[in-house]
Structure 1
Amino acid sequence: MIFAPFTGKDNHGRPVTFAAGLLSKEIANSFSWLFNQFVKCMGVALKLIVTDQDLGMKVAIEEVLVNTRHRWCMWYVMNKVADKLPKNMLGSEELKKELNACVWSELIEPDAFEETWHAIMERYGLANNDWFSSMFASRRFWVPAFFREFPMSSLIKTTSMSESQNGFFKRYSKSRSNLIQFYMNYNHTLKTQTSNSAKLEYYDSTKVPILKTKLEIEKHASTIYSGSGYNAIQEEIVFACFFLSCATLGVSTNREIEVYNVKDNDSNSWTMTYSIGDDTYFCRCKKFERLDLLCSHIFCVLKYKFVKLIPEKLRGGRWLKSQFVKPIHGVFCDDQEIHLAADEKKIAFKNLYALFIETTQSIEGNIHQINAFASIIEEGKKLLLG
């Protein structure tokens, strides 16, 4: 039977399997059954699904997941380019460079992509190439320019995450296993996945991020984002902090909006709009809409406006720390003052919690050590509490 997992990303950017099915054949009817069962079990359809160019999968998605945005794997499409090019074009580094810049860019609008694509096709004599023409006709399925308005579209643009998980599952299962063995191995794999996620949450609760600027907004970012989320946010803050990387070139204001002209580290100019009435920010690069992460352009304006905390509407939800992880780089009060020193009680409790998590994770899978540790805790409880 064919193992069909549904793979996404967690708040650390790591792969997570949240559903799976077993199919007898990779045909449209099988995929339709799988998607129907997914919606039935989860109670909601996917917002975005990334697949290869399998026709049966495409038919099933259009039939069952009618409101789901379907995206083709970028790598799968672009990997075919070398096979579809005329032999005299295979060694053209200029064509490769121009095509990649056009296709992979997430910063150009659809009309700009189409104009650039046609120019490349004409320049290199590919306007009548059947494969390139068919890929252009299907551009809404794979080109990033057509996903600029779609939330989280930059999180997953290839099936590499799924392929990685397939390899992960193979480490815990065998092709000739019966269903009982497969089910046990599958559960063991999910426990390993959960354990890996718990380790990252443990690091979030104990590791103090190293700040790179003196901006209080960076300190605030370190308290609300997961480790990987903060690393990405920190890079944007650093760009916004230095004039040579990012700068506000001008601002125009009326009663309702403030419009900023911001230069980025690539010397591109972006328009950033702040709506005074509903306290919202919008940048034409649309990184926040695509990734749920703020761009350096918005941070540049926040710095210009002396904003100390990331506004709640700009925090998103994808990359935030788990609700069970408390901030460790200071506590933010209502008056926006930052207290970097924690009291001894909190430090002692945090160290105790970290010791417990570290110990339980290190003895996972050894029943004798687990029982021994449980006995030690029970004896300690009796000594302390009577």
Structure 2
Amino acid sequence: MTMCERQWLFFSEMKAQDSEFTYNIQVDDESRIRTLMWTNGRSKTQYHHFGDVITFDPTYKTNLYDMPFGLFVGVNNHFQSVLYAGVLMRDETEDTSKWIFDEFVKMMGGKKPITILIDQARAMEKAIEEVYPESTHRWCKWHVLKKAKENLGAHYTKKSDFRAEFHKLVHEMLTIDEFEDGWAALLDKYSLKTNPYLVQIYETRQKWAKPYFAGKFCARQTSTGRSESANHMLKQYVPPSCSMNLFVKQYNKLQFDREQEEGFQEKRTRLSHAVLKVNTSLEVHASKIYTRRMFEIFGGILYESGMYDVEEIIEKQKYIVTHQRAELCEKWFKCRFEVNVSNNLGYFSCICGLFEHMGMVCCHSL
């Protein structure tokens, strides 16, 4: 029996245990496994609810077959990582990437993600443009910063002011004009206008710079960190030189353990009482509709809102919100935010874009 035949048999047994278990195998001209992808019923349900934003990272390599392993990962309503599908592949070419992204959507019932985050792999990027043409495609911000560290040498040491200012530019800029002005000022200050790496990433800024994703839902994700963390956890489950069948079994064990953690958070939300910090009607209402983890995040934002003063510009339509310690704000940190209100106080839109980015109302709107 060939390895491919053994894999078909193994997956058939798994499907007998879970009728929603789905898999597909792409073989080469010699009937050897080229790409192997699978998911299960629980993952499909999770994707149905939380699959608007996904990350994909194929950096983990298995020992026995030297095959890169990729994970499709999302985030649930407890702000936990959830596993959608696993992929073993012999190569990372554009054709293979197209097969993977197309097969993933088929397995998930046809729903395409709103936003997908990957690293700067050109083959995957071209495949996404063809398979998910309407999805927002973002580069992992962590990879951009990692490559900056590798390419900028002495400019990027912890003792350098450039490093701190570059990070502010990447993390804090809210509008395109702010980013463009800040970028020009930074390169002028440190005489880096002709630096090859900075020229290159500036030309591709629409793929990673925060202002260019204003209004795009990302579930607060800006990197493939959740996929990478799941890959790291999988290493603790998979023994060296394990068989492909055992690899898949251990992947399922990792997923089971993640589901146990989710079950704990579900029980915590259902049975425990939220701890109120300010005891306003707004906070009480939030405690009833948010999961405990999201309510804890909301509590921090609500507390932060107390540091802002509000000026009404147009009655019930436009407000300017200013930090009470505006004089302490540094050059590239905003202290004034415009909040627009519509639908008879039914919708608040702030220039910071937090609600559009992660679905949580910002401190300026609060």
**TM class, shorter-chain normalised?**
0.7 to 0.9
Determine the structure 2 residue equivalent to 1:214: 279
Q: Is the 8 A contact 2:115 2:217 kept in 1?
A: no
SS of equivalent residue, structure 1 residue 8: strand
Residue pairs, 1:375-386, within 5 angstroms: none
Determine the structure 2 residue equivalent to 1:47: 114
Q: Is the 8 A contact 1:239 1:265 kept in 2?
A: no
- Among 148, 153, 160, the alignment partner of 2:214 is 148
- Among 186, 192, 201, the alignment partner of 2:257 is 192
TM-score (normalised: structure 1): 0.71
Give me the whole-angstrom Cα distance separating, in 2, the residues matched to 1:144 and 1:15.
22
TM-score (normalised: structure 2): 0.74
Residue pairs, 1:258-277, within 5 angstroms: 258-264=317-323, 267=326, 268-277=335-344
The percent of aligned pairs where both chains have the same amino acid is 26
| 2:121 aligned with 1:121 | no
SS of equivalent residue, structure 2 residue 223: coil
Determine the structure 2 residue equivalent to 1:280: 347
SS of equivalent residue, structure 2 residue 70: strand
State the Cα deviation string for residues 232-277 of structure 1 (Å, max 9, x = none). Answer: 111122233x3xx122133432xxx522222236631222222254
SS of equivalent residue, structure 1 residue 12: coil
State the Cα deviation string for residues 315-364 of structure 1 (Å, max 9, x = none). Answer: xxxxxxxxxxxxxxxxxxxxxxxxxxxxxxxxxxxxxxxxxxxxxxxxxx
Residue 87 of structure 1 deviates from its aligned partner by: 4.3
Go from structure 1 to structure 2 and tell me whether the alpha carbon gap of 1:86 and 1:4 turns closer, same or farther (over 3 Å shift): closer
| 2:182 aligned with 1:99 | no
Q: Could you tell me which amino acid in structure 2 is paired with residue 181 of structure 1?
A: L
Determine the structure 1 residue equivalent to 2:233: 168
Structure 1 unmatched runs, 5+: 300-386
Q: Is the 8 A contact 2:155 2:162 kept in 1?
A: no
Determine the structure 1 residue equivalent to 2:314: 252
Give me the whole-angstrom Cα distance separating, in 1, the residues matched to 2:154 and 2:144.
19
| 2:101 aligned with 1:35 | yes
Go from structure 1 to structure 2 and tell me whether the alpha carbon gap of 1:90 and 1:250 turns closer, same or farther (over 3 Å shift): same
SS of equivalent residue, structure 2 residue 365: helix
Determine the structure 1 residue equivalent to 2:300: 235
Q: Is the 8 A contact 1:264 1:297 kept in 2?
A: no
SS of equivalent residue, structure 2 residue 101: helix
Go from structure 1 to structure 2 and tell me whether the alpha carbon gap of 1:90 and 1:21 turns closer, same or farther (over 3 Å shift): closer
Go from structure 1 to structure 2 and tell me whether the alpha carbon gap of 1:13 and 1:89 turns closer, same or farther (over 3 Å shift): closer
Residue 217 of structure 1 deviates from its aligned partner by: 1.0
Give me the whole-angstrom Cα distance separating, in 2, the residues matched to 1:59 and 1:164.
25
Go from structure 1 to structure 2 and tell me whether the alpha carbon gap of 1:214 and 1:86 turns closer, same or farther (over 3 Å shift): closer
Residue 180 of structure 1 deviates from its aligned partner by: 2.4
Give me the whole-angstrom Cα distance separating, in 2, the residues matched to 1:39 and 1:278.
38
Q: Is the 8 A contact 2:237 2:250 kept in 1?
A: yes
Q: Is the 8 A contact 2:116 2:136 kept in 1?
A: yes
Q: Could you tell me which amino acid in structure 2 is paired with residue 15 of structure 1?
A: S
| 2:361 aligned with 1:294 | yes
SS of equivalent residue, structure 2 residue 304: helix
Residue 279 of structure 1 deviates from its aligned partner by: 2.8
Determine the structure 2 residue equivalent to 1:340: none
Q: Could you tell me which amino acid in structure 2 is paired with residue 288 of structure 1?
A: F
SS of equivalent residue, structure 1 residue 140: helix
State the Cα deviation string for residues 108-148 of structure 1 (Å, max 9, x = none). Answer: 20121011101111111110111100000000111112112
SS of equivalent residue, structure 1 residue 296: coil
Q: Cα RMSD over matched residues? A: 2.0
Which has the larger share of strand? 2
Residue 9 of structure 1 deviates from its aligned partner by: 0.8
Higher Rg of the two aligned structures:
1
Determine the structure 1 residue equivalent to 2:6: none
Residue 287 of structure 1 deviates from its aligned partner by: 1.1
Residue 92 of structure 1 deviates from its aligned partner by: 5.5
SS of equivalent residue, structure 1 residue 6: strand
Residue 222 of structure 1 deviates from its aligned partner by: 0.9
Give me the whole-angstrom Cα distance separating, in 2, the residues matched to 1:14 and 1:237.
22
Q: Could you tell me which amino acid in structure 2 is paired with residue 143 of structure 1?
A: A
Give me the whole-angstrom Cα distance separating, in 2, the residues matched to 1:97 and 1:57.
31
